[in-house]
Structure 1
Amino acid sequence: MSALKYPLNSLVSLGDYLREQVAMITAEASHSAGDPEFIAMMDRAEIANPWFTREQLLYAFGSWASLLTEEKLNAWLAPYAIGENKPEDQKSIALVLAGNIPLVGFHDLLCVLCSGHRALVRCASNDQVLLPFLADKLISWDPEFASTIEFVSGTLEGQDAVIATGSNNTSRYFDYYFGKQPNIIRKNRNSLAVLEGAESSADLQGVAEDIFRYFGMGCRSVSKIYVPEGYDFDSLFEAFYRFKDYINHPKYANNYDYNKAVYLMSGSKMLDNGFLLLKEDPGMGSPIGTLFYETYSDRDALTNRLEGEADSIQCVINGASTSNAIPFGQSQLPGLSDYADGVDTLKFLLDLRLN
């Protein structure tokens, strides 16, 4: 049996299930539409992590539903020499997951399953609902998954390799504990957008999506924009307006109010539309409720600068001829081959079978 055959049908079934649930709930615009277990799962997830609102959860589930099709899974896996799934080749892979946006660790789990390994999954403390629910669904369709997915808490033991995602601070902890094992350790990265001043209304709507989706908490969320000198922000602010209700989210409002107070007390200049602070700042990572910006006069110089800072950038939106540039509005819709930090997770896992 190949390493792919047993996950494929169940993964496609998972995509069908998610697609069906999102469609029913969206069409009915009802709290109770859809599978009661699915609704209860979303309720539990939001209680555990208030950033995981119904809107954000449905977006994440819908995004994954669009990827978990037979055609897309086969196209993703086709370039890899997966080979036979021999028991002696199976390794235990520890996944230390972040919890900043919904299903942020699902791609790592998917890679482990499709490479024929066993996943030891430690979820973030504020995100212990979503992946276990999806795993239970897979197991219900194919009991063989029960031996390849295990959720753990506390100290990780017995793993052959580690994939860990966190901040620059936690990466030092990961290096200390897992540095002697094969690993992928991810640190802070930020995403940015480069505007030229001639963007259409649709382009700017896409920029707004890239900034606000998941409250701006993902590494693919645009945290900074570069605009030409003399740029008129009116049209951009108009595109932001559809996200005005974010200010009604208590945690978002608390961050917005706090940052506004800090900037006012420090005498920092900023633009304020009542739900987002726009601040000129050389930093890359803006806090929640704030968007940093810088102006530029030479596009080629900006391109060179961003190329030099590539190690700290996750993706660039419409960006300055850089190799990782993507279109407006697509930052939170990565494909199966869009690996975090540009490191091919599936190749890393397949190579472990050769050792």
Structure 2
Amino acid sequence: MLQLDKKNCFIELGKFLSQFSLDNNSKNEAVLNNDLFYDDFITLIELSQSHNGWFTPEQVYYSINSWADALKEENLNQWLSKYDFSKVTPKTVGLILAGNIPLVGFHDFLSVLISGHNVLVKTSSNDQHLIKFLSKYLTSINPEIEKFITFTEGKLENFDAVIATGSNNTARHFEFYFKDKPSIIRKNRNSVAVLDGNETHDDLVNLGEDIFRYFGLGCRNVSKLFIPKDYNFEAFFKAMYEYKDVIFYEKYSNNYDYNKAVFLMSNFKLLDNEFMTLKEDTSYASPISSVFYENYEDLNTLKSRLELEKEQIQCIVSNDLIPNSIAFGQTQKPQLWDYADGVDTLEFLINL
């Protein structure tokens, strides 16, 4: 099966996904195989929260919309144009997927197939339905692609390379278990924002999107702020008020109550707006509903520190205060060429 044929399958998938949004599902009769998949996909979206309580319709639709945009022909062409796939020898690549946000492993799934390999997928129990549905849609577009895709519920067997995502603890297990195979092993990472006090209200509202999207469960969510000494949080909290309704979601509210209580019992000083807490802390990984912060005195010193600790960081958000940082509100809108952990997945796959 030619790469062009696979690419066209994903383009058609993007067109299929473009029909769905939180406010208005709009059926396009020109989309292939809608009669078989359109209604069933709406049903699956509605059921997603019963499969994973964090997968609310709003969060699932957001992920779907992001992939609908990513799978446009111009984006796929731009992504693939810098690679030479001519010498790829097809192998079987095992994927161990995370399940923290909807379709979090789909980029790896796409990368393996588009690079010319076979994919062997072990889904997370927290996100095992959406990617299988999209795989079935791809197969309906071109049945030949089915022979390149295998899902397994047991341990991975008969594979040549692996891409595995997990916690720092599971990553150590992966590194031992897969030590004799080419691999990409992903660990815990978090994202940070660097502020200087000159941010506009819109900047800070957009920062709220980076914090609260997917309830803060993604590695691209901002979990830590670096702020100048004597920073005034008034404008920050005013902007965060846009996201106050998050507290009405029970799972988030329970985490807010629990984590706030733990902090208070430990006599930590907190800033609190009744739906999120801010805690001064040197760590990067904050619990759900909380964001850590730390003061800096010199921006150049901070730049050096962030470079030294880059293995713990997925994204840096700022108004160009840090080289290669991301604009506010953009962390959950990665392009196809924005690779997790900065590791070029296609380059790895091409060189197997």
Structure 1: gaps of 5 or more residues: none
Give me the whole-angstrom Cα distance separating, in 2, the residues matched to 1:300 and 1:10: 47
Give me the whole-angstrom Cα distance separating, in 2, the residues matched to 1:28 and 1:129: 20
1:327 correspondence with 2:327: yes
The equivalent of 2:47 in structure 1 is 44
* Residue identity matched to 1:210: D
* Residue identity matched to 2:157: E
Report the secondary structure of 2:20's partner residue. helix
Deviations 1:265-306, CA, capped at 9 Å, x for gaps: 111100111110111111110000101011112111111111
The equivalent of 2:224 in structure 1 is 224
Contact preservation (8 Å) 1:229, 1:295: yes
Give me the whole-angstrom Cα distance separating, in 2, the residues matched to 1:124 and 1:270: 34
The equivalent of 1:170 in structure 2 is 170
1:236 correspondence with 2:236: yes
Following superposition, the deviation at residue 348 of structure 1 comes to 0.5
1:27 correspondence with 2:24: yes
The equivalent of 1:284 in structure 2 is 284
The equivalent of 1:11 in structure 2 is 10
Deviations 1:154-203, CA, capped at 9 Å, x for gaps: 11100000000001000011012111100000111110000110101111
Deviations 1:299-340, CA, capped at 9 Å, x for gaps: 111111111111111110017754441111100111010000
Percent identity (aligned)? 51
Structure 2: gaps of 5 or more residues: 27-36
Following superposition, the deviation at residue 246 of structure 1 comes to 1.3
Give me the whole-angstrom Cα distance separating, in 2, the residues matched to 1:349 and 1:28: 36
Contact preservation (8 Å) 1:193, 1:319: no
1:56 correspondence with 2:55: no
Following superposition, the deviation at residue 232 of structure 1 comes to 1.2
Query: Following superposition of structure 1 onto structure 2, how do residues 137-156 of structure 1 map, counting pairs within 5 Å?
Result: 137-156=137-156
* Residue identity matched to 1:185: I
Give me the whole-angstrom Cα distance separating, in 1, the residues matched to 2:87 and 2:145: 17
Deviations 1:193-220, CA, capped at 9 Å, x for gaps: 0011010111111111101100001000
Following superposition, the deviation at residue 242 of structure 1 comes to 2.0
Per the alignment, do residues 323 and 111 of structure 1 end up closer, same or farther by CA in structure 2, a change over 3 Å counting? farther
Report the secondary structure of 1:316's partner residue. strand
Deviations 1:6-43, CA, capped at 9 Å, x for gaps: 11111111111111122xx52369xxxx9321111112
* Residue identity matched to 1:11: F
Query: Following superposition of structure 1 onto structure 2, how do residues 155-304 of structure 1 map, counting pairs within 5 Å?
Result: 155-304=155-304
Give me the whole-angstrom Cα distance separating, in 2, the residues matched to 1:319 and 1:109: 33
Following superposition, the deviation at residue 344 of structure 1 comes to 0.4
Report the secondary structure of 2:154's partner residue. coil
RMSD of aligned residue pairs (Cα, Å): 1.6
Runs of 4+ with deviation above 6 angstroms: none
Per the alignment, do residues 69 and 320 of structure 1 end up closer, same or farther by CA in structure 2, a change over 3 Å counting? closer
Moved more, 318-327 or 111-120: 318-327
Give me the whole-angstrom Cα distance separating, in 1, the residues matched to 2:157 and 2:10: 28
Contact preservation (8 Å) 1:307, 1:322: no
Per the alignment, do residues 286 and 194 of structure 1 end up closer, same or farther by CA in structure 2, a change over 3 Å counting? same
Give me the whole-angstrom Cα distance separating, in 1, the residues matched to 2:39 and 2:243: 29
TM-score (norm 2): 0.94
Give me the whole-angstrom Cα distance separating, in 2, the residues matched to 1:28 and 1:71: 24
Give me the whole-angstrom Cα distance separating, in 1, the residues matched to 2:87 and 2:40: 36
Give me the whole-angstrom Cα distance separating, in 1, the residues matched to 2:144 and 2:78: 24
Contact preservation (8 Å) 1:280, 1:293: yes
Give me the whole-angstrom Cα distance separating, in 2, the residues matched to 1:217 and 1:344: 23
Give me the whole-angstrom Cα distance separating, in 1, the residues matched to 2:314 and 2:11: 28
